[in-house]
Amino acid sequence: MQSIDVQSLASWLAEDAPPLLLDVREDWEYAIVHLPGCLLIPMGQIQARWESIPRDRPMVVYCHHGLRSAQVVNFLSSRGFDSIYNLTGGIDAWSAQIDPDLPRY
């Protein structure tokens, strides 16, 4: 499984061709904090909705700390997705290291 740290993701998002961000947390978590422009599909819905996920660009999957997103990356990889990355530390690491103004929970 490929992983990406928050510093590398921040740099990538500033480029002309940023990755798709897939948030696999629950709706209530998304309501607290999320990264702009992300696609929300809670982990429990991935098996039913994976075919609707765009494959036209690289993807970074994130959750709160990186555990759920790692499972989703493994699942999607087994379905033929390539160029897919797990965000190490999840949105909690992003809030702590990149944007401390974002709420943490």
Report, as residue numbers or ranges, the catalytic residues: 63
Between CA 51 and CA 91 the distance in angstroms is: 24
Q: How far apart are CA 89 and CA 85, in angstroms?
A: 12
The string of DSSP letters for 73-98 reads: HHHHHHTT--SEEEETTHHHHHHHHT
Cβ atoms 95, 11 nearer than 8 A: no
